[in-house]
Structure formats: structure tokens, C-alpha cells
Structure 1
Amino acid sequence: MTLRIYGDTKSGNCLKVKWTAERLALPFEWIEVDILQSQSRTPEFLALNPAGQVPAVILDDGRALAQSNAIMLHLAEGSALIPTDAFERAKMLEWLFWEQYSHEPYVAVARFQVSYLGKPVSELDAKLLERGNSALGRLETQLKQTPYLVGEQLTLADIALVAYTRVAHEGGFDLSLYPAVQAWISRVEAALGL
């Protein structure tokens, strides 16, 4: 059985799983699930992932796994995308947890509301933009110090965070304010062949 990835190509959370599989040269089948058409709410999909969210995967052995960062960690186990040094691995995990709590809820949500729901940036909740810019500022601070989030090498933290950061402008964020972030986006995109 081949790895099957259920995802929506509009979703950074789905793309980061796809990019991880591609980076690791894992063969997979991509199954498009259009969340705007409620395709993640069908009985068939809910049997796969009762949370009704993408991404979800069916592993080679037939087991299902959901949540983008959990999937990435599983796929990359033993690879260079996860540092072998315990502290560096913990720093990578720190960024992964931060991404889901302090970055994605603001940057991705603003992008979704503007790009997919057609909401003008001027009508976004001011907290979304404030917290999204705060997240981008946090990335800028780190990326002025190191080429990648955990130092000198690409890790899952970079793949996870580049997914929505590279399209932050679609949510009303001005990436030109964050030159170190822009340079990092270019490095990560080049490393992933995007």
C-alpha cells in the first residue's frame, strides 16, 4: 500500500505534509479534499478522521494519522529533518508548537478570510493583524541570527512555518517589513524545490 495524503492544496497545513514527503522522496498518492465544498465532512472522510480536518494520511500499513505536525514528525522519523541533538530537536518542537498556537491562527486565518472568503483587509479583526505581525516579527528576530529556525540546517520547523508565511501577503501582511523572513522563505523554497 502506498502512503495516501488527503489534503486541500489551498491549505498550508496540507502542503507542509506534501513537501515533507517530497523532500524525503516518499512515494505517495495525493487525494484532493476541497474544504470549501465540505468534502472533509462527508461520512467517508469522517470515518478516516473523525475531527473532519485535513490533512490526514493513510500510512503504508493502513493506519490513519491526522494533524499536520504529527504527520510530518512521523514521516521524517530518523531523517535529517529532525535534529539528532536533543536540545536542537526540542527547539524544533518548540517552533512546531508555536506555529500552531501563535502563527497559524492569525496569519492563516487572515489569509483565508481575505483570499477565500473575499473579506477586505480593512474589515479583518484588528487582533488578527496585530498578532500575525507579532508572529512575523518573532520569525524576523530569529532569522536575523540564524539561516534556519533551528540554526544552520533545514528542519521540520522551517517546512511548517514557511507554508503560511510565504503567502502571508494574501492575508494583508506586508512581508517587505521582514527582510530576514523574505530571505529565509527564498532559502526554504529553494531547498524544497518550490
Structure 2
Amino acid sequence: MKLYSMPSSGNSYKVRLLLALLGRPCLTVDLESGDPALQAARDAGVLPYGKLPTLELDDGRAIAESNAILCYLGEGTALWPADAVTRAQMLGWMFWEQYSHEPVIAVRAALRSYPERAHLATPERMADLLERGHAALALMEQRLTRADWLAGQAASLADICLYGYTHSAGARGGFDMALFPAINRWLQRIAALPGHEGLNG
């Protein structure tokens, strides 16, 4: 398999983390924003939706969208709940991540991290993202105050999915993670999983 991945992206990191946890070998092609090779990959039709990450299978077929890739790799593993309700709850968290979490947590981090986006980081926008990001984290905190994992009684793809941007929300996004002790304990549990590797390897 070949993973087209943006090293600084939480969406790409989710996939790299899952591959590490599962011990799955995969060739990684690193393409950062602004890299001419990224546009070349788009022009070549390698990236189905024109963005990263994309997983290219041994037979040449490609899977795009980080959470779709997680489902492909995770199905049949211990991270894929056998119970249908728990599995649906896992998927619910994964859909929520892309709709309500990533658009504020990741976007605020990106505006702080990428110089080419700095002009978009108006005080009003950053304040709005901070407020909405804290609200999203508070929802996670509610669940993790009552349970160790987001769906069911064991780690699932939902935890890997939400870890991608939550683990760096303080350092990169400027969110006040001291407000969320249950999330911090959850982050430690994921970091302790065998095979865990960080954003930068």
C-alpha cells in the first residue's frame, strides 16, 4: 500500500497512527501544502478528491477521506466493534468529528500554523473558533467523564479519529486544555497504546 500523506495534517496523522497501531506496513509519500509534487499528484489523478490523505491499494485502487481510510483499515480489528449499536456510535463520533470538531479545532490550528493563511486569522474569526472549539471539546469531556472511550468499553476507530486533532489542540490551536481533565486522561490512554507514534513519527 502507498499512503499519500501531509505530515503536518491531523487527518493524515490519523491514518499513519492507525497503521502504526495495527503494525501494517505502508509506503508513505509526504506532500505538504504548496509542494509542487502535490499539484502533480492532483494532475495525475492520484488523489480522487484532490486532497490528502489518500491510500493507494496494492491493486491500484484508491481510498480517499481520512475516516473512510480508517474504516477500511480498521474493519475486522479490535478497533472495529462487533456490536452493531456500538459500531454505529463509533461512526457517529467519526461523522461528528468531520462536521463539528475538525472545522473549528483544525482550522484554528491551521490559521496559527501556516504563514500563507495568517491573513485569514482575523481577531473576530479566531475568537469565534476558540469559543466553538471549546464547546466541541466540552461535548467530548462530557462523554469521557463517564467512560474511558468514546464508543463502548474499549478503544475504537472513534478514539483514533478524534485523537488526530485533539492531541495538538492546545499547542497548535491555542485551546485551554486545562479545562478538560477527562480528555487529557483519554489522550494519555491513547498515547499508551502499543505501537503509538506521534505526529512527527
TM-score w.r.t. length of structure 1: 0.92
Q: Secondary structure at the match of 1:79?
A: coil
Give the Å deviation of 1:23.
1.3
Q: How does 1:24-103 map to 2 (within 5 A)?
A: 24-37=22-35, 39-42=37-40, 46-103=44-101
Give the Å deviation of 1:35.
1.6
- Contact in 1 for aligned 2:105/2:129 (Cα 8 Å): yes
Distance of 1:150 and 1:105 partners within structure 2: 22
Distance of 1:182 and 1:84 partners within structure 2: 27
From the superposition, tell whether residues 100 and 27 of structure 1 become closer, same or farther in structure 2 (CA, over 3 Å). Answer: same
* Equivalent in the alignment of 1:151: 152
**Per-residue deviation, residues 77-105 of structure 1 (Å, max 9, x unmatched):** 11111100000000000000000000000
* Equivalent in the alignment of 1:5: 3
**Per-residue deviation, residues 17-39 of structure 1 (Å, max 9, x unmatched):** 11111111111001101124354
Q: Which moved more, 1:134-143 or 1:22-31?
A: 22-31
How many residues are matched? Answer: 192
- Contact in 2 for aligned 1:39/1:45 (Cα 8 Å): no
- Percent of aligned positions that are identical: 41
For 2:180, the aligned partner's letter is: Y
From the superposition, tell whether residues 177 and 162 of structure 1 become closer, same or farther in structure 2 (CA, over 3 Å). Answer: same
Give the Å deviation of 1:50.
4.0
Aligned pair partner of 1:193 in 176, 182, 196? 196
* Equivalent in the alignment of 2:175: 173
Q: How does 1:110-121 map to 2 (within 5 A)?
A: 110-117=108-115, 119=118
Gaps of 5+ in 2: none
1:105 is aligned to 2:107? no
* Equivalent in the alignment of 1:183: 185
**Per-residue deviation, residues 102-121 of structure 1 (Å, max 9, x unmatched):** 00000000001012237497
Q: Secondary structure at the match of 1:47?
A: coil
Gaps of 5+ in 1: none
From the superposition, tell whether residues 59 and 142 of structure 1 become closer, same or farther in structure 2 (CA, over 3 Å). Answer: same
* CA RMSD, 1 decimal: 1.9
Q: Which moved more, 1:115-124 or 1:162-171?
A: 115-124
**Higher RCO structure (Cα 8 Å, ≥6 apart):** 2
Distance of 1:85 and 1:6 partners within structure 2: 32
